[in-house]
Amino acid sequence: MPAQGDLQYSLGLVLAEQGRLPEAAAALARAAALLPQRARIRYNLGLALQQIGKRRDAERNFVEAQRIDPRDPAIPYALAVLLAQERRLKEALVAAERLQELSPDDAQVRQFVEQLRMSGQRGQ
C-alpha cells in the first residue's frame, strides 16, 4: 500500500503548512508506518513533533531518519538544533559535527559548530 503512504505523507505536509501540527504529525506517523524506509517522512514527522512539544519523539524520528539516510544534511542539522534547544550541548555538537562532515565547505555550518563548541565550554 505505498500509494496510501504517499497520500498520508502529502496530507501531513499540507496539514503542517496550514499549521495543523497535531493532525500533521498523525498523518506523517501513518506515512512512516506505511513507508518505513523513507527518511524524509521521518524527518518531517520529527519537525512536526518538535513543534508540538514532543521533543523525545522528535529526536527518535530524527535519529531513525539519519539511520535510513546518513547523507541528508538536513537531518543532523535538525537533530543538532533540537538538542541545543534542550541544552544537551555535547550531543548537539556530535550531530553538528556530522553535519559538517556532510557539508565541509559550508561557512554557516562551521559557524554553528563553533558556537556549540564555545557554548559547551562555557557550560562546563
- Domain segments of the chain: what residues? 1-69, 73-124
Predicted pLDDT of residue 121: 75
pLDDT confidence tier of residue 74, bands split at 50, 70 and 90: very high
Residues 26, 56, 59, 121, CA torsion sign: positive
* Cα–Cα dist 82/6, whole Å: 26
79-122 residue pLDDT tens = 999 999 999 999 999 999 999 999 999 999 999 999 999 987 77
CATH class of 1-69: mainly alpha
Mutual orientation of helices 74-85 and 39-51 as an angle, nearest 10°?
Answer: 20
Between 28 and 2, residue with greater pLDDT: 28
- Global pTM? 0.91
- Under 8 Å between Cβ of 57 and 49: yes
What confidence tens digit (pLDDT) does each residue in 11-58 have?
999 999 999 999 999 999 999 999 999 999 999 999 999 999 999 999
DSSP symbols for 49-108:
HHHTT-HHHHHHHHHHHHHH-TT-THHHHHHHHHHHHTT-HHHHHHHHHHHHHH-TT-HH
